[in-house]
């Protein structure tokens, strides 16, 4: 029986013969280098954001971060605030000084000159200017009867305003009897209060003798909402270190990173230049990070300014291209960013809740990605 099977096999072998092409001898293996996507591949990556200054600062107190120069208002706006009391006197002392306490009393207040906007000088060094200024006068009246105030208020070079018996109700802890808002004006650097008179009722202490231990006060309060109006004074270098992106092994020639930036922040950002950093070992064997001249990145990218509730969308495309060969391992980036004045019309006030959002970040790789093994 075995002999018969041998005959079968022998009869089959010559028939099964086929020409072996030694050019295709795979007995030594097949090269496992693969270059994929030689023309182009686009990959959606992510949507990042919204990112707001408040998120970036987290629990960090803004005042301490900015050296108490700026504050965040309850609704998130960046403000400079100042409050100063320019008159305060105990009622008991006023009563004692009155010639006839049974008669209404007009009490003259010394002229006062204050400097509410003086603290905005430093923010202006940062390119910030007041966008909306609020100035108010307040009074504290612990009496059981109302009082009134007369006088002249002058803010910087603006026309003076007169107060004529402006009432302050009884038992007012902090009553604002004068308020003005200025939009688009220069800083209120000086406030002058002249011929101020407090009109007090007769028999100050009869109805409430205990109020004699309290004081009548007058003061001003200033709040300036800040906005960017000028270019930031200098280019901001942003080093991105210790990335160690092992791109070199993939022999990529060109990557185009694209995104649509939706910006509510009233600042125009301009990426002036980007340097690609690579690691290099010198003759002594010391490793150092140097700028790679063989890779270019598209400079001059601009993220247009927006404002709260009306973000402006800027398409952004960053091309990372090897001038010769392929993109090497990247140790980091050196970004040079300029902050510019906002463009267009709209509310330019800075708010800590304003956000920037990077939508539809995608990468388009041209020329292939080479990998060893699949």
Nearest approach in angstroms of CB 148 to other proteins is: 54
What 3-state DSSP class applies to 7?
helix
CB-nearer residue toward other proteins: 211 or 259: 259
How far is CA 334 from its chain centroid?
20
Rg of the chain over CA atoms, in angstroms? 37
Nearest approach in angstroms of CB 238 to other proteins is: 15
CB-nearer residue toward other proteins: 60 or 343: 60
Rounded to 5 degrees, φ, ψ at 117 are: -90, 10
Nearest approach in angstroms of CB 372 to other proteins is: 11
Beta strands 191-200 and 287-291, pairing class = unpaired
The Cα 78–Cα 227 span in angstroms is: 8
Q: Which DSSP category does 68 fall into?
A: T
Q: Alpha-carbon dihedral of residues 305, 307, 313, 319, nearest 10 degrees?
A: 30
CB-nearer residue toward other proteins: 2 or 28: 28
Nearest approach in angstroms of CB 91 to other proteins is: 55
Nearest approach in angstroms of CB 70 to other proteins is: 22
Binding mask 222-261 for other proteins (x = CB under 8 A): ------------------------------------x---
Q: Of these, 30, 99, 234, 345, which contacts other proteins (CB under 8 A)?
A: 30
Q: Which DSSP category does 18 fall into?
A: -
Q: Does 21 bind other proteins (CB under 8 A)?
A: yes
Q: Of these, 90, 217, 313, 368, which contacts other proteins (CB under 8 A)?
A: 368
The Cα 265–Cα 51 span in angstroms is: 10
Q: Report 149-208 residues binding other proteins (CB under 8 A).
A: none
Nearest approach in angstroms of CB 298 to other proteins is: 17
Reported residue count of the chain is 374
The span of 146-154, 174-182, 343-351, 364-372 binding other proteins (CB under 8 A) equals: 364-372
Q: Does 29 bind other proteins (CB under 8 A)?
A: yes
Q: Does 23 bind other proteins (CB under 8 A)?
A: yes
The Cα 312–Cα 264 span in angstroms is: 7
**CB contact at 8 A, 126 and 167:** no
- Give the H/E segment covering residue 313: strand 312-322
**Cβ contacts of residue 190 below 8 Å, gap of 6+?**
113, 114, 115, 154, 155, 156
**CB contact at 8 A, 320 and 257:** yes
Q: Of these, 4, 210, 234, 345, which contacts other proteins (CB under 8 A)?
A: 4
Q: Does 362 bind other proteins (CB under 8 A)?
A: yes
The span of 14-22, 83-91, 242-250, 334-342 binding other proteins (CB under 8 A) equals: 14-22
Nearest approach in angstroms of CB 46 to other proteins is: 4
Own/partner pairs for 290-295, CB < 8 Å, 24+ apart? 291/334, 292/328, 292/330, 293/323, 294/322, 294/323, 294/324, 294/325, 294/328, 295/320, 295/321, 295/322, 295/323, 295/327, 295/328
Nearest approach in angstroms of CB 326 to other proteins is: 11
The Cα 141–Cα 349 span in angstroms is: 34
Binding mask 36-75 for other proteins (x = CB under 8 A): xxxxxxx-xxxxxx-x---xx-------------------
Nearest approach in angstroms of CB 13 to other proteins is: 8
Residues at the interface with other proteins (CB under 8 A): 4, 7-8, 10-12, 14-16, 18-31, 33-42, 44-49, 51, 55-56, 258, 360-362, 364-365, 368, 370
């Amino acid at each position: 029986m075995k002999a018969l099977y041998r005959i079968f096999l022998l009869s089959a072998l010559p028939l099964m013969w086929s020409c072996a092409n030694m050019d295709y001898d795979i007995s030594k293996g097949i090269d496992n280098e693969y270059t994929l996507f030689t023309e182009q591949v686009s990959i959606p990556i992510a949507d990042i954001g919204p990112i707001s200054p408040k998120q970036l600062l987290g629990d960090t107190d803004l005042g301490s971060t900015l050296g108490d120069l700026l504050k965040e208002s309850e609704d998130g706006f960046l403000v400079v605030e100042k409050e100063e009391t320019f008159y305060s006197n105990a009622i008991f002392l006023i009563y004692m000084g009155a010639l006839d306490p049974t008669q209404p009393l007009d009490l003259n207040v010394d002229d006062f000159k204050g400097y509410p906007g003086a603290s905005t000088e430093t923010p202006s060094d940062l390119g910030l200017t007041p966008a909306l200024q609020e100035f108010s006068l307040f009074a504290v009246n612990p009496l059981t009867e109302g009082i009134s105030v007369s006088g002249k208020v002058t803010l910087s070079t603006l026309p003076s305003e007169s107060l004529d018996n402006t009432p302050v109700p009884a038992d007012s802890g902090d009553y604002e009897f004068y308020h003005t808002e200025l939009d688009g004006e220069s800083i209120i650097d000086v406030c002058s209060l002249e011929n101020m008179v407090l009109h007090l009722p007769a028999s100050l202490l009869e109805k409430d003798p205990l109020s004699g231990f309290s004081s009548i006060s007058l003061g001003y309060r200033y709040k300036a909402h800040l906005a960017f109006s000028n270019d930031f004074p200098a280019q901001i270098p942003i080093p991105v270190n210790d990335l160690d992106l092992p791109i070199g092994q993939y022999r990529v020639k060109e990557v185009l990173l694209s995104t649509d930036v939706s910006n509510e922040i009233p600042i125009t950002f301009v990426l002036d230049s980007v340097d690609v950093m690579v690691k290099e070992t010198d003759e002594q064997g010391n490793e150092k990070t140097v700028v790679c001249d063989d890779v270019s990145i598209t400079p001059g990218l601009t993220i247009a300014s927006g404002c709260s509730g009306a973000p402006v969308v800027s398409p952004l495309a960053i091309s990372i291209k090897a001038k010769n060969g392929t993109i090497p391992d990247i140790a980091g980036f050196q970004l040079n960013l300029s902050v510019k004045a906002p463009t267009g019309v709209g509310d330019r006030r800075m708010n800590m809740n304003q956000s920037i959002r990077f939508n539809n970040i995608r990468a388009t790789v041209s020329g292939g990605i080479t990998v060893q093994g699949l």
